[in-house]
Amino acid sequence: MYRYERSVRFQEVDAAGLLFFPNFLVICHEAMEDFFGALVGGYAGLIRGRGLGLPCVALETQFIAPLRHGDAFEVQLEVEHVGKRSLQLSYRFMRGEQLCAEVRETVVVTDLEALKSADMPNDVRELCQHHQVGT
């Protein structure tokens, strides 16, 4: 499991003072970028240096408990499945022991010039397998 910690920022809340629901997905992407920071050149190197992206092709979200401005929380990222060209990732938003949201996302390794799926590079596969559920 990979852990990404931060707090809810003022600009991320809605009129009710709660983390605005689309921002959960923005934070998932932040956690994913941070996760791939372990690669040479990080996530930016994957995109700009190698011309590979990881666009989302499927998404499932469940909101369980609110997060408010200033709340500290942790995103627990796990790799559920590693395919030849795709990954299924799960994100759990935890405020202490309280589960606040769960997100499941499928991303596909994509050649950004051709805009077609591509085989997963070995270093990406190794990093993902290291954080895969059950390993």
Where in the sequence numbering do the catalytic residues fall?
Answer: 14
Nearest to 95 by CA among 37, 27, 15: 27
Nearest-angstrom CA–CA distance, 19 and 1: 24
Question: Phi, psi (5° rounding) for residue 75?
Answer: -100, 120
Nearest to 83 by CA among 118, 42, 41, 52: 118
Our CA angle for 60, 109, 82, nearest 5°, is 65
